[in-house]
């Protein structure tokens, strides 16, 4: 089977988020079964920022058994990357099936148009761009208009899709609200347990002489970093007594300046270490040496970061908002608190750090969850079954 996976970013832009890893893991696992898999994407490289594109990246690059084909993005509007050449490239390659990942993207629109033109079946997955993001309503008039236009295209993609993949029941409900006739199948997100290995000594490399808890993600208020800083300020003396720091790893999405100001104003530098634009290997090694992960997001659909933490038997403190409880289960593999509640978050961090037996128990449960359900092998197998089902139905029409 010749499979096209279409997404807004891929290697080397690992800091873009979950879309990159979902696409790569699907491509790796399905190509290992003997199928011809190509990722069609942009030349986002993240070397100088979240919307930097590089013509120096190879246009065609082989990774293990799959291929990445990049076309240049001439400009972008926030995370909407415009690379018109992807349409011609995808049309000429004539895949048997097209799988678009990241619905609120230019690439998703191109996948839909090519699918309509060539009568190739389309599979759709979102991973982060639907209608419930709280900051959509907080944008200016121009961006609100852009979002409304995007919503029109999202609904068109859903109507045309043979199957829509949802990571959990929360996401499925959103899809059905957008287009009630969508054929939605739940496929749990998964992480690659084989790739989550690092031989790097994280503490030594970054001169950290204490235990640490970890935040991994964009420097953005949507990730709840402002709430996290407030929580850390409440327990900073406790952290000193517990010989524990907070390590924040990520890339700036508009909040870095305010974050650094808050840290300075509250004298948090002694208990917080910031690592900007970290290499993927450093993130992996940080998971392994941390005590636990903190992800106080005000919004997530189906985050991959908690699954990566679970792969190292590290529990997660997060919020009970939106799709998070389908990944982080309260008092089973982590602790859930109310979003925008720094007091609850501070208490949860302090209580876990003072209870290592509970940390171990929650971490073990998280690992079992990933090993049994949320790994990339299971995810790819389930997705490929949908490809086969779609092809069979398409041939019988």
Give the tens place of pLDDT for each residue, 260-280: 999 999 999 999 999 998 988
Is 117 exposed, middle or buried, given 0-12, 13-18 or 19+ CB atoms closer than 10 A?
exposed
pLDDT tens, 141-200? 766 676 777 788 889 999 999 999 999 999 999 899 888 999 999 999 999 998 888 888
Mean pLDDT value across residues 335-355: 97
Q: pLDDT at residue 297 above 60? A: yes
pLDDT of residue 50: 55
CATH of domain 202-372: 3.40.50.2000
Mean pLDDT value across residues 320-327: 93
pLDDT of residue 137: 58
Is 343 exposed, middle or buried, given 0-12, 13-18 or 19+ CB atoms closer than 10 A?
middle
Beta strands at 60-63 and 66-71: parallel, antiparallel or unpaired: antiparallel
Contact 355, 88 (CB under 8 A): no
Question: What is the Cα–Cα distance from 244 to 76, expressed in whole angstroms?
Answer: 40
Place of tokens 């990942």: 101
Sign of torsion over alpha carbons 92, 93, 96, 97: negative
13-27, 36-50, 236-250, 262-276: segment of lowest average pLDDT: 36-50
121-130, 203-212, 312-321, 367-376: segment of lowest average pLDDT: 121-130
Question: What is the Cα–Cα distance from 12 to 47, expressed in whole angstroms?
Answer: 9
Q: In what order do the strands lie in the sheet with 163-166?
A: 60-63, 66-71, 36-42, 2-6, 97-101, 122-125, 163-166, 184-186
Question: What is the Cα–Cα distance from 349 to 374, expressed in whole angstroms?
Answer: 25
Question: What is the Cα–Cα distance from 169 to 188, expressed in whole angstroms?
Answer: 10
R_g of the chain computed on alpha carbons = 21
| pLDDT grade for 80, boundaries at 50, 70 and 90 | confident
Question: What is the Cα–Cα distance from 397 to 392, expressed in whole angstroms?
Answer: 9
Per DSSP, the chain holds a count of helices (H) and strands (E) of 14, 16
CATH 3.40.50.2000 maps onto the chain at: 2-190+375-391, 202-372
Give φ, ψ of 219 to 5 degrees.
-80, 85
CATH of domain 2-190+375-391: 3.40.50.2000
Our CA dihedral for 168, 319, 16, 40, rounded to 10 degrees, sits at 10
pLDDT of residue 16: 81
Provide the 8-state DSSP code for 59: S
CB within 8 A of 58, min separation 6: which ones?
70
Helix 356-372 with 342-353: angle, nearest 10 deg: 100
């Amino acid at each position: 089977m010749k499979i096209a996976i279409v997404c807004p970013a891929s290697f080397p832009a690992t800091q873009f988020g979950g879309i990159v890893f979902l696409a790569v893991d699907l491509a790796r696992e399905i190509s290992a079964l003997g199928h011809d898999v190509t990722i069609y994407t942009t030349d986002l490289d993240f070397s100088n920022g979240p919307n930097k594109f590089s013509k120096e990246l190879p246009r065609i690059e082989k990774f293990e058994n799959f291929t990445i084909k990049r076309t240049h993005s001439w400009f972008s509007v926030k995370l909407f990357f415009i690379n018109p050449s992807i349409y011609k490239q995808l049309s000429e390659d004539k895949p048997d099936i097209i799988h678009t990942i990241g619905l609120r993207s230019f690439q998703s629109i191109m996948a839909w148009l090519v699918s309509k033109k060539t009568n190739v079946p389309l599979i759709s997955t979102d991973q982060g761009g639907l209608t419930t993001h709280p900051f959509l309503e907080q944008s200016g008039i121009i961006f609100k208009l852009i979002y409304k236009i995007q919503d029109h295209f999202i609904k068109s993609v859903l109507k045309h899709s043979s199957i829509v993949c949802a990571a959990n029941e929360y996401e499925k409900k959103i899809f059905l609200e957008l287009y009630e006739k969508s054929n939605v199948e739940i496929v749990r997100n998964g992480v690659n347990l084989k790739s989550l290995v690092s031989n790097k000594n994280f503490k030594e490399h970054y001169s950290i002489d204490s235990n640490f808890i970890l935040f991994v993600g964009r420097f953005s208020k949507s990730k709840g970093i402002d709430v996290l800083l407030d929580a850390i300020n409440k327990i900073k003396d406790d952290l000193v007594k517990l010989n524990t720091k907070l390590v924040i790893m990520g890339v700036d999405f508009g909040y870095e300046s305010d974050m650094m100001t808050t840290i300075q104003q509250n004298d948090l530098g002694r208990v917080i270490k910031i690592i900007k634009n970290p290499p993927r290997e450093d993130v992996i090694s940080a998971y392994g040496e941390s005590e636990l992960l903190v992800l106080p997001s005000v919004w997530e659909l189906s985050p991959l970061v908690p699954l990566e933490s679970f792969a190292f038997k590290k529990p997660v403190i997060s919020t009970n908002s939106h799709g998070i409880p389908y990944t982080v289960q309260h008092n089973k593999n982590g602790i859930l608190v109310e979003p925008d509640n720094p007091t609850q978050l501070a208490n949860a961090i302090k209580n876990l750090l003072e209870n290592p037996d509970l940390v171990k128990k929650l971490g073990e449960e998280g690992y079992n969850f990933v090993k049994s359900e949320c790994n990339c092998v299971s995810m790819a197998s389930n997705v490929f079954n949908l490809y086969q089902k779609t092809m069979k139905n398409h041939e019988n029409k």
